Amino acid sequence: MIVLCALAVAVPAAYAAAGGGAYKPKAVADPCAPRPWKAQGGVSGLAAQLALSATDGAACRLHVSRESLVLALASRADLQAFGRAHDLDDKQIEAAMRDGLQRAVDDASRAHAIGTLPAIILGQAVQRLPLDGLLRALQGTTLNW
How far apart (Å, rounded) are the C-alpha atoms in residues 101 and 52? Answer: 9
| Spatial separation of the C-alpha atoms in residues 120 and 84, rounded to whole Å | 34
Of 2-21, binders to another protein (CB under 8 A) are: 4-5, 7-9, 11-12, 14-16, 18-21
> What radius of gyration do the chain's Cα atoms show?
21
Site for another protein in 24-53 (CB under 8 A): 24-29, 40, 44-45, 47-48, 52
- Pick between residue 45 and residue 123 the one whose CB is nearest to another protein: 45
At closest approach, how far in Å is the CB of 143 from another protein? 6
> Shortest Cβ distance from residue 36 to another protein (Å)?
11
- Maximum distance among all Cα pairs of the chain, rounded to whole angstroms: 80
Q: What is the DSSP letter of 20?
A: G
- Measured over the CA atoms of residue 59, residue 94, residue 107 and residue 144, the dihedral's sign is positive
Contact between 145 and another protein per CB under 8 A: yes
Count Cα neighbours of 115 within 13 Å in the Cβ-side half-sphere.
Answer: 2
Q: With respect to another protein, which residue has the nearer C-beta, 10 or 120? A: 10
Residues that bind another protein (CB under 8 A): 1, 4-5, 7-9, 11-12, 14-16, 18-21, 23-29, 40, 44-45, 47-48, 52, 65-68, 70-71, 74, 141-145
